[in-house]
Amino acid sequence: MTGGVAQIAFPDLSIGRFRVCARYGGGTVHQPSTAGPVDLFVIKGILLPSPKLSLDVPAHAAPGATIAGRAVVDAAGVASKPGGTVRVRAGARDLGEIPIVDGVAALSVVAPAEPGVMTLTASYAGDAAFSPAASEPAYVAVTKVIATQPIPTLGESAASMLALVLAALAGARLRRRRSR
């Protein structure tokens, strides 16, 4: 450890996906601590460009409502499609790994019971051909639904009739002014 930073080497790992955790036992000055699990994917050979990972979720949801969305793994310009899984998080809560089917991982999460903003993120660990990718955060406004009354409107024919009546009244008013 140098300057408070530890470097951990994993020599001779096979191609594949690993979950890595680190534990510090503590000392006279610092408390014990842990980090992880962190996704580690070992790739050897030709690597295709990183895919773009994005979240497609609604902008608004009611408290306690189920939010359906999807994580899209797009490898533009490449014939093969990324495979594996996408890990999705809602704030600090881990929603787990969701399998990618034809470039999309369908997700479902329940909105918090209290109004606020829910932040969703996704990470793709990569596979044998594609490197890892992470999404930009997606924000869902959790707000109470305010019931509103529909505003009555006139139909096309009623609006035309109203225009004729108003025109007739205006014409009658002009005639009275001229006759005085």
Q: What is the pLDDT of residues 58-82, one digit of tens each?
A: 999 999 999 999 999 998 877 778 8
User: Which residues span the domain enclosing 16?
Assistant: 1-42
Q: What is the pLDDT of residues 106-137, one digit of tens each?
A: 999 999 999 999 999 999 988 877 888 899 99
Highest mean pLDDT pick, 21-25, 59-63, 164-168? 59-63
Record the pTM: 0.57
Pairing of strands 60-61, 138-142: parallel
Residue 127 parent element (H or E):
none
> Which residues touch 82 (CB under 8 Å, ≥6 apart)?
51, 73, 75, 100, 103, 124, 126, 127, 129, 130
Are residues 58 and 131 both part of a single domain? Answer: yes
Inform me whether the pLDDT recorded for 161 exceeds 70.
yes
Does residue 163 lie in a domain region? no
Are residues 35 and 60 both part of a single domain? Answer: no
